[in-house]
Chains A and B, each alone.
Chain A
């Protein structure tokens, strides 16, 4: 019995989700091999070998995996699957894309977004936008699992283990990469930031999101948004926190002008400390906030920036 973890990366840097997913994988109790599928991976594979719990790093370095197209990555993982009882990836947009394809090719069910490992077959996962937690037992011989990274700690470091190149399976020819449009940001990544400050519909427009910049700078925070703010066109959608956006669990989450709809709470209610700033004292966000401030955000934000 061995576990295969597929690393989350951008061909240059290993994402923190990889280190958190390793923590979940180690909890399964078996040796863990880490697969890097991508292009120009030499520098990154050394770093991967130093993540605590990794037994072997497998590197599939080929243009076919450069953009981690689901069709090609799933084919590669399938070719390695005989050696593993558990196949694990983070529940990022990349992992969510190729893992169910792997599961179906193996004719097994997938357990999505686990938040806890009970034993090698049994896991906890949120359902109904996090309003219920299901304990599920996989009855398949092979388990295909995605991990909600925000529920696990970052794995420590170890003395580097061996790195071996594996053969590429090439492209299966169903899809091609056309283009990528990155949202430019110098702030920490939303899903990894220790502090997140998010704006909602109450921000009124995109320009007003600049009011969050000074506070974010002082706290080293990432800036997020509610779906209402994204749908209204204030900010791009990759800033969205919620059931359909990103799931975050920072030490401190500051919700500004966000009412606290179920959909939004699903993405942030596991934060350690929640602060809500809203002028409506009946906003549902106050039911989950550790500290609430009933006030107009346009008065409070400059004051908060000065006080920090």
Chain B
């Protein structure tokens, strides 16, 4: 089977985002960027399915400006067979991304699409579910285990209160949770090899998707600062303060 893995270039997860002075957005100039952590898990899962003989081809796809090809090269170095870059300078919403990806699903007809459950920049947690809706496929979100059978895939999902397992008809859409796997690092020889793997570039405008904004970003603010706390000497003082000052116990 063929697996499609959409990935996203985002701010590195260790970097604390700063709001621009004019409140128009978060400042991403000169900030370290990386592959979204949940997307790394998606790539890893696809590669493992290939290593297990379940998958025959892994295709990585991303949507974004020219720089996002760096993350595609990373995906190729990790073991993806080919990459597709949908090029756009626009800042797209989840619905746009899902629509563009549905065109790639049409073109590539993968039996399984594995995405991260959310990107750590917009924190939307929407694209996988939207892609499932647009392609008329079943969805296994927040996956902590993926078990491909003939014609179906069993997905164990991390839900509030525990775990739930669902069986989806293939073709299907899966989104990854943190505990699905531990992503590998790319080795230097594989990074070199990745440079020769095919990378197809498609202009987003050429896919016939309406990319007009549906959400207007009015402004972006710093979260309310917490007032500075105090360091207490011992447990007795702590309990005393919680009782009489904070009045929470």
Contacts and interface: CB of A to CB of B under 8 A. Distances in A.
A304 interface: yes
Contacts of B125: 96, 100, 112
Interface string A269-303: 10011110000010000101111111100001001
Contacts of A237: 144, 158, 178-179
Interface in A121-135: 122, 126-135
Interface stretch (B47-55, B80-88, B160-168, B195-203): B160-168
Contact of A112 (B123, B134, B157, B179): B123
Contacts of A113: 123
Nearest to B139: A70
B189 interface: no
B95 A108 contact: yes
A264 interface: no
Interface in A182-237: 182-183, 191, 195, 219, 227, 230-231, 236-237
A4 to B, nearest CB: 18
A94 B248 contact: no
A133 B26 contact: no
Contacts of B131: 104
B122 interface: yes
Contacts of A262: 13-14, 16
Interface string A138-181: 11100000000000000000000000000000000111111111
Interface string B124-148: 1111111111101111111010000
Given A135-B220, A137-B215, A238-B162, A272 B248 contact: yes
B223 A292 contact: no
Nearest to B141: A97
B231 interface: yes
Interface in B14-52: 14, 16-19, 26
Nearest to B135: A104
B40 to A, nearest CB: 13
A168 B93 CA distance: 32
Interface residues of A, number: 89
The interface residues of chain B, by DSSP majority, are classed as mixed
Contact of A132 (B17, B94, B132, B166): B17
Contact of A128 (B17, B93, B142, B179): B17
B186 to A, nearest CB: 22
A111 B13 contact: no
Interface string B231-249: 1101110110110001011
B137 to A, nearest CB: 7
Nearest to A266: B123
B162 A128 contact: no
A275 B242 contact: yes
A303 B232 CA distance: 15
Contact of B26 (A127, A130, A176, A292): A127
Given A131-B16, A252-B249, A294-B231, A174 B223 contact: no
A132 B222 contact: yes
Contacts of A110: 94-95, 124, 126, 130
Contact of B235 (A69, A173, A307): A307
A98 to B, nearest CB: 8
Interface string A69-90: 1110010000000000000000
25 contacts: A71-B138, A93-B159, A94-B159, A96-B129, A97-B141, A99-B129, A101-B133, A108-B214, A110-B95, A110-B124, A112-B124, A127-B17, A127-B122, A133-B220, A136-B215, A180-B162, A269-B226, A272-B248, A273-B248, A288-B226, A289-B229, A291-B229, A291-B230, A307-B236, A308-B249
Given A129-B120, A139-B216, 14 more contacts: A67-B166, A70-B139, A109-B93, A110-B94, A126-B223, A174-B172, A175-B166, A181-B164, A227-B178, A252-B246, A273-B246, A286-B231, A291-B242, A307-B236
Nearest 4 pairs between A and B by C-beta?
A: A174-B138, A100-B129, A128-B17, A104-B133
Interface of A: 10, 67, 69-71, 74, 92-94, 96-105, 107-113, 122, 126-140, 173-183, 191, 195, 219, 227, 230-231, 236-238, 243-244, 246, 251-252, 262-263, 269, 272-275, 281, 286, 288-295, 300, 303-304, 307-308
